[in-house]
Amino acid sequence: MAASDTVTSLAVEDGIAILTVNNPPVNALSAALRDGIAARIGETSADPAVRAVVLICAGRTFIAGADISEFGKPPRGVPLAEMIAAIEGSPKPVVAAVHGTALGGGLETALGAHYRVAVPSAKVGLPEVKLGIIPGSGGTQRLPRIVGVERALAMITSGEQVPAAEALAMGLLDELVAEGELLAGAVAFARKVLTEGRPLRKVRDMNEKMEAARGRPEIFAEFRRANARKFRGFDAPEGCISAVEAAVNLPFDEGIAREREIFMPLMQGTQSKAQRYVFFAEREVRKIPDLPDSTPVKPVESVGIIGAGTMGGGIAMNFLNAGIPVTIVEARQDNLDRGIATIRKNYEATAAKGRLKPADVVSRMGLLTGSLDMGSLSSQDLVIEAIFEDMELKKETFAELDRVAKTGAILASNTSYLDVDEIAAATGRPESVIGMHFFSPANVMRLLEVVRAAKADPEVVATAMKLAPKIGKLGVLVGVCHGFVGNRMLAERQREATRLVEEGAMPWDVDRVLFEFGLPMGPFAMSDLAGLDIGWSRETSRGETLREKLCEMDRRGQKTGAGFYDYDSGRKASPSPVVERMVLDHSAAKGITRRSFDDGAILERLVYPMINEGAKILEEGKAIRASDIDMVWIAGYGWPVYRGGPMFYADTVGAKAVLAKMEEWETAIGPEFAPSALLRRKAETGEQFTGAA
């Protein structure tokens, strides 16, 4: 027998049917694929020549899950749960043969099989939670039956991928076969099942581990408690926990029904929509319309960094982590020594937590060279300047760099605000100059704004974009403008946060609203953490702004035990009566009659001006697409993924609502609220920025 359609094929060799799935790029379970697998299983069941079935995938991976692009569309084809039930109900043993990743619906499919084998490099997981949903085709009911409740809870609520060896140890896989010999290994395994007369092992019937957990509700209570912080704001993790609870407390079929009940509203909800949008946005961001994937890139095998301060050091670590040698140049020996010592201290701290091998500390530090001589930057493929934000200083540095750097080297500035074209013009090779804007702490934050200077060669831009993932960053291409995408929008929020406090809110009200919205912290808590005296000096302080007044009182943030908040010895913040008084006096001195703001009004005032600025950024072509702006905010500022980014959020509230507020504030407060033409157009046409909300 040999049957096939475009995505599945069947061949029978000596009693073993090989069901091959071929749905590039990742064998996602499209309607056609579900139909195909169900049909092929039907055929093997009916064919007396077939004694066992091997389910295997062509291409780079086993099934990577449901086809996310089908979500929210009218259902077509055999439902996934039905397809899996058909596999499990097969009268002939089915062996799933896993390579690459078996994820989500892919792992659920494998769990429907009677046995699972994999190559050592394979990984398995249920990442649905990252898409704002729960595994919806039996994963929450079958996984705990194999690996037990605690492990299942950890896997399902984290979505992490488990390496094959670990999956084998927990019983999720039955055997590992030699790398590169999956088919032969799986067929041999199937023959063993037949010759040994092993049973049709259906995961749905395994109850031992469920019985062990029954009557122990504290497992779930404890898990919820331990992870409350991690799950804050997200709906899906609680759905995952409830579904696993159902696996313990209900018979299999009722558990499946409960899983469905939890799955559907999550799938239709805004959080999942946002998280699915982010999944695709994260992949879209790499696509540059005028830089096809075939654009040549330059090798980056050595890097120079100018400036061993916090930024320079953090940037260096990214390259050292990736095994790329770094030469770091400073003007003074003491600064250089301090910078290098900080890098070492960071690595040692990571090693002390067990997250880095001591040998890796040595090898990474071994890739780092310090120098006081710009002449040491004559051979590197890429040099990143990370000095003080001063245009004249940057220009001098680039002119000097132009003299020493080798022909073809990429010269990048880590400026956060300044005009990269002007910096490029200080060299005789503006085609080699771009911005590479890292976010603090640069070794931790995932965002890298790649700033496309006007004269930069396509090759230079493509190289920076392709380099980003190699050093663990999400590269977003942005245009030259003050503050680029992230800081330009942040400035709007900062300005309004300050004004809200002058007009009637307290700093902790503003912070609370943003925290409850899902951000890690608000602007005032953030300022306290960073230190209020950054860029402040007693000599030049005019005592006008709240920040200046606080610094003058030596309330300089967490480090001094007081800032906008009071801090106890454990650095726990509490609203400060001193600051409250100061705020009231400050408003009075400015002649402002304070009024009250509810949380909704605070949020609008902070976020809508950001959206308007985002629209201007799009209008001016400083970001390629709305979803790139959203990725900047998610990867660089901790915007909650379940709200999709500011532009996605704009689409959930509607451009009309944003426009109405901007117009109101433009009239009442000032021209800084003037709506962008694009916002106006979106409001008029009802079109979305992202088309995804």
The rounded distance, in Å, linking the Cα atoms of 636 and 485 is 11
Q: Which is nearer to ligand 3H9, 76 or 198 (CB)?
A: 76
The β-bridge partners of 11 are 2, 18
Cα separation, 147 vs 141, in Å, equals: 11
CB of 642 to ligand 3H9, least distance (A): 15
Q: Rank residues 64 and 662 by Cβ distance to ligand 3H9 and give the closer one.
A: 64
Burial of 345 (0-12, 13-18, 19+ CB in 10 A): exposed
Cα torsion 200, 201, 204, 208 to 10°: value is 140
* Residues in contact with 124: Cβ distance below 8 Å, sequence separation at least 6, in sequence order: 98, 101, 102, 103, 107, 110, 118, 161, 162, 164, 167, 172, 173
Out of 88, 108, 503, 604, which one is annotated catalytic? Answer: 108
Tell me the closest approach of the beta carbon of residue 133 to ligand 3H9, in angstroms.
6
**Phi, then psi, of 137 in degrees rounded to 5:** -130, 50
Burial profile 605-632: b = 16 or more Cβ within 10 angstroms, e = fewer: bbbbbbbbbbbbbbeeebbbbbbbbbbb
Contacts of 189 (CB under 8 A, 6+ apart): 95, 115, 117, 174, 175, 177
Least CB distance to ligand 3H9 at residue 543 (A) = 53
Establish whether 108 is a catalytic residue: yes
User: What is the DSSP track for 32-49?
Assistant: HHHHHHHHHHHHHHH-TT
CB closer to ligand 3H9 out of 60 and 345: 60
Find where tokens 């934050």 sit: 445
Task: Tell me the closest approach of the beta carbon of residue 82 to ligand 3H9, in angstroms.
Answer: 11
- Measuring CA to CA, how many Å separate 85 from each of 41, 70, 235, 334? 11, 21, 28, 68
Q: 283 or 581, CB closer to ligand 3H9?
A: 283
Place of tokens 């999944």: 279
3-state secondary structure string across 336-347: HHHHHHHHHHHH
Whole-number Cα distances in Å, 28 to 11, 259, 339: 21, 21, 47
Q: Which is nearer to ligand 3H9, 260 or 395 (CB)?
A: 260
CA distances from 339 to 306, 361, 370, 382, 448 (A): 11, 16, 9, 20, 21
Query: Which amino acid type is present at position 404?
Result: V
Separation of alpha carbons 285 and 33, rounded Å: 28
CB of 492 to ligand 3H9, least distance (A): 31
Residue with tokens 């402040």: 536
* 606, two tokens: 């902070």
Nearest distance in Å: CB 135, ligand 3H9: 4
Helix residue ranges, H only, 196-251: 208-213, 218-231, 236-249
* Min separation Cβ 65 and ligand 3H9, Å: 2
Output 137 or 416, the one with its CB closest to ligand 3H9: 137
Residue 454: both structure tokens together: 């006007």
Report the interface residues with ligand 3H9, using CB under 6 A. Answer: 25-26, 28, 61, 64-69, 80, 101, 103-105, 108, 127-128, 131, 135-137, 139, 280, 283
Could you confirm whether 128 is annotated as catalytic? yes
Specify the residue, 231 or 279, whose C-beta has the smaller distance to ligand 3H9: 279
CB 599 within 8 A of CB 605: no
Looking at the Cβ atoms of 156 and 550, the one nearer to ligand 3H9 is 156
The CA distance from 122 to 139, in Å, is: 18
Catalytic residue among 128, 449, 503, 613: 128
Residue among 427, 506, 476 nearest 623 (CA)? 476
**156 vs 423, which CB is nearer to ligand 3H9?**
156
What's the min distance (Å) between Cβ of 63 and ligand 3H9? 9
Instruction: Please state the closest distance from residue 482 (CB atom) to ligand 3H9, in A.
Output: 32
- Judged by CB, which is closer to ligand 3H9: 139, or 483? 139
Question: What H or E segment, with its residue span, contains residue 194?
Answer: helix 182-195
Output 297 or 674, the one with its CB closest to ligand 3H9: 297
- Among residues 25 and 48, whose Cβ is nearest to ligand 3H9? 25
Which DSSP string do the residues of 583-624 spell out, in sequence order? HHHHHHHTTPPP----HHHHHHHHHHHHHHHHHHHHHTTSBS
Residue 137 CB, nearest distance to ligand 3H9 (Å)?
A: 4
**Among 221, 218, 122, 129, which residue's Cα sits nearest to residue 175?**
122
Rounded to a whole number of angstroms, the minimum distance from the CB of residue 163 to ligand 3H9 is 13
Of 108 and 496, which has the nearer Cβ to ligand 3H9?
Answer: 108
3-state SS string over 266-293? HHHCHHHHHHHHHHHHHHHCCCECCECC
Q: What is the DSSP string of 496-556?
A: HHHHHHHHT--HHHHHHHHHHHT-S--HHHHHHHH-TTTT--TTT--S-SHHHHHHHTT--
Least CB distance to ligand 3H9 at residue 177 (A):
21
- Give me 258's structure tokens: 């409960």
Min dist. Cβ of residue 160 to ligand 3H9 (A): 11
> Do the strands 447-452 and 433-438 form a parallel or antiparallel pair, or are they unpaired?
antiparallel
CA-derived radius of gyration, the chain: 29
User: Could you list the active site residues?
Assistant: 108, 128
